[in-house]
Amino acid sequence: MADRELMYREALREALFEEMELNDEVFIIGEGIAERGGSYKVTEGLLAKFGALRVRDTPISEASMIGVGVGAAIAHARPVVEILYIDFAMLGMDQIVNQAAKFRLMTGGEGRVPFVLRTQGGTGGGVAAQHSQSLEALFYHIPGLRVVMPSTPHDAKGLLKYALRQPDPVMFLEHKHLYMTKGMVPEGELIIEFGKADIKREGTDVTLIAWSNMVPRTLEAAEQLAGEGISAEVLDPRTLVPLDKDAILASVAKTNRVVIVQEAVRRGGVASDIASIIQQEAFYDLDAPVEIVAGMNTPIPFNLELEKASVPQTSDIVAAAKSVLHADKAA
């Protein structure tokens, strides 16, 4: 079927539309998602199409809304819970960590929790410390959860559709800066299985690993590097759990140099874990230490310049790539 250009939020909406049409057990709850269509307009039109039984607003009860989604999933429905900001998901951590993630093991593998929590994180627009976090590492740390972070409209649609067909709890983490970005998306069926990385740009000199909003920024860096004769490969894991280790190791084997880029704070981050996997499983492929470009270990400040300083910028990625190539010393 034909590709058309869609915004990230339109691609998400299309995935919800298609899956809700296919499966009556898919329903969505969240704050202001029905009549208003959600703060990021992802759910616009769903109420009119699917009715108030399957598209409903909730009061401000995050801890219980998340639990309600988990309970509905245990009872074999396919709930989607939209949480406005990932920061607010912290109110429901018990339900995510102690309930959703554990149920399958606690029931000896018999019980499943096909629960999708959609939320968004990241900096942008000066919304300050309690509305700007990148918290994927918290969920990455918890066995039993799937952690999905699409960077393009295409991936957003395919991954959300897959999320609504697989049996485990999914933290579907969108980025507030990506909702208005555009990209080509096929009409109709598009399924992207979890654990399949995507090479967003091929290259031979250095592998740049990035996800979510760091992907466009890293592609920008790769473009600049190309102007200086450096061929950078940009690898987007798309899902952090499961992680496509094979694709990462294959790219490292090709380029022998790696930079991992994450918006989240450096300490205890996913980048560090990926770096440790690479050093353990591909040590002899490496020609330089793995470099990490990450957020500063700080809450996000309001001031624009300080906000920028606290998360990776294109120039930081370019500099890191050059440093692993020792290209900085060439001149």
Partner 1 sequence: MAADNTRSNTPPKELLEKLFTTAFRIRTFESGGIKLYRQGLVRGYFHPSLGQEGIASGACAAIEDRDYIGSTHRGHGHCIARGAEIDGMVAELLQKRTGYCKGYGGSMHIADITKNNLGANGIVGAGTPLGVGAALANQVRGSDAVTITFTTDGATNNGTFLESLNLAAIWNLNFILIIENNQYAVSTTLEEATRDTDLYKRGEAIGVESHQIDGNDPLLVYETVLDAVKKCRSGLGPVLIEAKTYRHSGHHVNDPGKYMPEERLKYYMDRDPVDRARDNLIKLGKMSAEEVAKLEEEIQQEFDAAVEKAKAAGEISVEEFQDFVSAY
Residues that bind partner 1 (CB under 8 A): 24-25, 27, 29, 53-54, 56, 58-59, 61, 63-77, 79, 94-95, 98-99, 102-103, 105-111, 143-144, 242
Nearer to partner 1, 76 or 329 (CB): 76
Q: Which residues pair with 125 in a beta bridge?
A: none
Nearer to partner 1, 8 or 103 (CB): 103
User: Residue 131 catalytic?
Assistant: yes
Nearer to partner 1, 79 or 312 (CB): 79
Question: From the candidates 131, 154, 175, 177, which is the catalytic residue?
Answer: 131
Minimum distance between the CB of residue 279 and partner 1, rounded to whole angstroms?
A: 22
- Scan for tokens 């990035």, then name that residue: 210
C-alpha 258/C-alpha 282 separation (Å) is 11
Question: Residues for the chain: how many in total?
Answer: 331
Nearest to 293 by CA among 253, 325, 256, 264: 264
Residues 6 or more apart whose CB falls under 8 angstroms from that of 264 comprise 133, 134, 135, 136, 137, 270, 271, 294, 295
C-alpha 82/C-alpha 97 separation (Å) is 17
Minimum distance between the CB of residue 77 and partner 1, rounded to whole angstroms?
A: 4
Minimum distance between the CB of residue 101 and partner 1, rounded to whole angstroms?
A: 9
The SS3 assignment for 234 reads: strand
C-alpha 317/C-alpha 151 separation (Å) is 17
Minimum distance between the CB of residue 46 and partner 1, rounded to whole angstroms?
A: 14
Contact 278, 270 (CB under 8 A): no
Nearer to partner 1, 140 or 179 (CB): 140
Active site residues: 131
